Copies of this chain bind each other. A is one copy, B any other.
Amino acid sequence: MYVVLSGGVGAARLLTGITRAVPPDHVLAIANVGDDLNLFGLHISPDIDTILYTTAGQVSRERGWGLTGESWQAMEMLSSYQGTAWFNLGDRDLGTHLHRTQRLAEGATLATVTAELAKAWNLRFGLTPVTNDRLRTMVSTVDEGEISFQEYFVRRQHSVPVTSVRFEGADDAEPAPGVIDAIEQAERVIIAPSNPVVSIDPVLAVPGIRAAVERRRNDTIAVSPIIGGKALKGPADRLMVEMGHESSVVGIAKWYQSLASSLVIDTVDAEHASAIASLDVKPIVMPTVMSYPGVTDGLARAVCGEG
């Protein structure tokens, strides 16, 4: 089994490669739910949906997010009502949220619904939320106090200074069925190039997960989401600094030091390899920008030890 601790876009792209590099039924993605939100009465799981849509090959190439063939009629109507319109919901995407919300109301767990959605999209790898329980990433900002992750990420376009992050509900959350076992029995545990602060940390915050990964440190490999000091997308670089860390591959190596014995860094960061090695983390230097052809598959083979 290859277990992938996953946020959204970066994880989804890597999973596309991993499921080509190894048999997909040997892959389990454990997804962040700290980004989940309830809006308009709907349960929205952005990271899970990004993984579903991306690995199914259904993400819009023009926008880089959301579904192909999407339309925005519901949002336009909502705007005419002067309604909450800061979170973009396409009409096709709404079908996913409607179904998830209905199934949860019927008593299905988030893991069950996620498995059903994955089946409907013909995914051949396992996809599970890290927990079926409510866990919400909350962000403390200088100007507005504590706000939800999506209010920070989408509404404020992650442009406001952050003083701290906490994971509401994490202490009382239980790992979803099979998650701890999968980590314990995995051939490899892979930490996707997702935001360490707000995508991977909420996964690790579920009691038992961090300890389980630490016990598997020798077989855990992380991919740095920081390339040349910057995040490809999103606020990982700013948040690393705001949390008192360095926005660099060395900062990432320190952040994951107790969890991962290897760290994949981009060739542009080759100069930092020895600093990483001195942290008892094995640096693996290779192209990691998955928007270039071939890079995704090479990276996937490397993290699976198939290269």
Contact = CB atoms under 8 A, between A and B. Distances in A.
A99 B40 CA distance: 7
Interface string A97-124: 1110111010000000000110010000
A102 B71 contact: no
A5 to B, nearest CB: 26
Nearest to A106: B84
Given A80-B120, A81-B116, A120-B81, A39 B102 contact: yes
A136 interface: no
A151 to B, nearest CB: 14
Interface in A82-102: 82-84, 89-99, 101-102
21 contacts: A40-B97, A40-B99, A40-B102, A41-B41, A42-B42, A42-B98, A69-B73, A70-B73, A71-B73, A73-B90, A73-B91, A73-B92, A74-B98, A77-B93, A77-B99, A78-B99, A81-B116, A83-B99, A84-B99, A84-B102, A91-B91
A41 B101 contact: yes
Number of copies of this kind of chain in the complex: 2
A211 interface: no
A25 interface: no
Dominant SS among interface residues on chain A: helix
Contacts of A73: 69-71, 73, 90-92, 94-95
B71 A83 contact: no
Contacts of A93: 77
A77 B94 contact: yes
B71 A101 contact: no
Interface of A: 39-43, 69-71, 73-78, 80-84, 89-99, 101-103, 105, 116-117, 120
B102 A77 contact: no
Given A40-B102, A81-B120, A94 B96 contact: no
A74 B102 contact: no
A99 B43 CA distance: 15
A104 to B, nearest CB: 8
A105 B39 CA distance: 9
A191 to B, nearest CB: 30
Contacts of A97: 40
